[in-house]
Structure 1
Amino acid sequence: MKAYELQDASGISGLRLVDRPVPACGPYDVLVRIRAVTLNYRDLLTVKGGYGSRQKFPLVPLSDSVGVVEEVGQGITKFRPGDRVIASFFESWLGGDPTAEKLSRALGGSVEGVLAEYRVFAESSLVAAPMHLSDPEAASLPCAALTAWCAVAKFGGIGPADVVLTQGTGGVSLFALQFAKFSGAQVIATSSSEEKLAKLKAMGATQTVNYKKVPEWGKLAREMTNARGVDLVVEVGGVGTLNESIRATRIGGAIALIGVLAGGAASELRLPLIVMQQQRIQGVTVGSVDDLRRMVAAVSNNKMRPVVDRIFPFEAAKEAFNYMASGKHFGKVAISVG
Structure 2
Amino acid sequence: MSHATHSNAALTPRTRLRLARLIIDQGWSPARAAERYDVSWKTAKKWAERYLAEGPDGMVDRSSAPHRQPNRTPAPVVRKIVHLRWKHRLGPVQIADRLGMQASTVHAVLVRCRISRLTHIDRATGEPIRRYEHEAPGDLIHVDVKKLGRVPDGGGWRYVGRQQGEKNRSATVVRTGAPRSKHRAPLIGTCYLHTVIDDHSRVAYVEAHDDETKETAAAVLRNAVAWFAERGVTVHRVLSDNGGCYRSHLWRETCADLGVTPKRTRSYRPQTNGKVERFHRTLAEGWAFKKFYNSESARLAALPAWIHEYNHHRPHSAIGKATPITRLDNLAGHHS
Name the TM-score, length of structure 1 as normaliser.
0.28
Larger strand percent: 1
Q: Which has the higher contact order (CA 8 A, sep 6+)?
A: 1
Query: Which protein has the larger Cα radius of gyration, Structure 1 or Structure 2?
Result: 2
Larger helix percent: 2
Name the TM-score, length of structure 2 as normaliser.
0.28
